[in-house]
Amino acid sequence: MTSAVARRRRAAREAALAQAVAQGLLGPEQPLVGLLDVDGIRASVDALTAAFGDTPVLHTFAAKACALVPVLRLLADAGMGCEVASPGELEQALAAGFAPERLVLDSPAKTVEELRRALAHGIAVNIDNFQELARVDALVAEHLAAGPIGIRVNPQVGAGAIGAMSTATATSKFGIALRDPGAVEAVVEAFARRPWLNRLHAHVGSQGCPLPLIAAGLRATYELAEHINTVLGRRQITDLDIGGGLPVNFADDEDDPTFADHVAQLRAAVPELLDGSYRLVTEFGRSLLAKNGTIGSLVEYTKTAGGRRIAITHAGAQVATRTVFMPQAWPLRVGAFDAHGRPKHTPHEIQDIAGPCCFAGDLTAVGRALPLLEPGDVVALYDTGAYYFSSHFAYNSLPRPAVYGYRAGPDTVHFATVRDAQTLREVVRESGDAHTHALVDLVSTSPSENPSDEDRPDPEEAAQ
């Protein structure tokens, strides 16, 4: 039975697609567009908050999932914090209005300057490894720490169905591997020597990771926190960052599993985690945004090859990179709409849905039974609100599409611009046109005008 959430989601999406065509947001002049369901996003945030009930928790949004400033602003307004993993994401979060104390800095490759800035401004930092910990030691010695500082651990509980999304494997690049010889003792010693360490962080993985696997990793993290506090004889660890990772159902419009399912699994596996003895931090991303986004594309041409019908669209690897290169792991549902953006109900035929990129594998769907598509029709890629809008792959120098948020009422749809479509002039500018003659000028320079190898300074002498 279809839930009320799924029915509302589908109705709003169909209304938005029709109005996007009617208002010229999607059409011959703009053959590719991203659409975000604003009410759906807020409902997802409400579902997350309700699932954890009265447990003290800071819910942060993983900026990597949709690093668009208006989206981040919407989430901040809904009461979320933000997890960032790069200088760019940090700047986007600050531009969106997140207060520093509601930010968390992750990343396995933080520079000294990134750490310095975060510590000085009260941004929480999750340290990834012991070398990074040594850097933080030096910065804390300068009295720069103004926010929570934790250590990320890898409980090594195994992989889910998608290896690339599994971060708690035996050889994961993230965190301190707890089952390696001496690792637990080293972590305990790190906390014993540093009273300013007050947080443990673990993230088991995301898409493809079943709820019991995630819960097992968090059980190990909770037990380590208890062990550390017991050994130290004080409750030094007060916060547990339990990451995110709720997998998304890409098969239909239902939320399955739900945030409530996730919390129920945690209550069964590690009930103490939710009793309020630790302040929690979450880092959900895909599960908040994916089902609230749609990519709409005009069908430019249709053809047959070897008896297979093919619809050529403007949505390919540049916007659906993971789906094109790993279709088994990242399949997307496809909707067929007519030239007015209305659902097609003609008999289904087997078709491939191809993108515009110049390589044979640029296919977002293969062998799908869909109403027969014709030039001028619209194809919709569902569940694309996370990663598909903000992780553009600039293959063939294809410009980034416009993204709009929408609210669909009973009789009308209102749109707001999230990101303007990238212009061709901007594409050229990003490709270095300010330096058009640089290499030609370099070639025309006389060799005598450049220092020879003998004339170049010795690197060690230069460093001195």
Q: Which residues belong to the active site?
A: 358
- Measure the CA–CA gap between 350 and 438, rounded to whole angstroms: 51
- Measure the CA–CA gap between 270 and 337, rounded to whole angstroms: 47
- Measure the CA–CA gap between 92 and 84, rounded to whole angstroms: 9
10 Å CB burial of residue 314 (0-12, 13-18, 19+) is buried
The tokens describing 169, both together, are: 């494997």
Contact 60, 81 (CB under 8 A): yes
Which is it for strands 124-127 and 103-105: parallel, antiparallel or unpaired?
Answer: parallel
- Measure the CA–CA gap between 436 and 433, rounded to whole angstroms: 5
DSSP state letters, 269-304? H-GGGGSSSSEEEEEE-HHHHGGGEEEEEEEEEEEE
Neighbouring residues of 44: CB distance < 8 A, sequence distance ≥ 6: 255, 287, 288, 289, 291, 292
Neighbouring residues of 90: CB distance < 8 A, sequence distance ≥ 6: 84, 103, 105, 114, 117, 118, 123
- Measure the CA–CA gap between 403 and 67, rounded to whole angstroms: 12
Residue 378's SS3 state is: strand
Largest CA distance in the chain: 79
Cα–Cα distances (Å) from 215 to 8, 118, 244, 269, 302, in that order, read 31, 30, 11, 6, 47
Cα–Cα distances (Å) from 283 to 124, 237, 241, 392, in that order, read 13, 19, 8, 22
| Tally of CB atoms within 10 A around 223 | 13
- Measure the CA–CA gap between 167 and 65, rounded to whole angstroms: 16
- Measure the CA–CA gap between 295 and 315, rounded to whole angstroms: 8
DSSP state letters, 118-187? HHHTT-EEEE-SHHHHHHHHHHHHTT---S-EEEEEE------S-GGGB-SSTT-SSSEETTSTTHHHHH
- Measure the CA–CA gap between 88 and 95, rounded to whole angstroms: 11
Which is it for strands 57-62 and 279-284: parallel, antiparallel or unpaired?
Answer: parallel
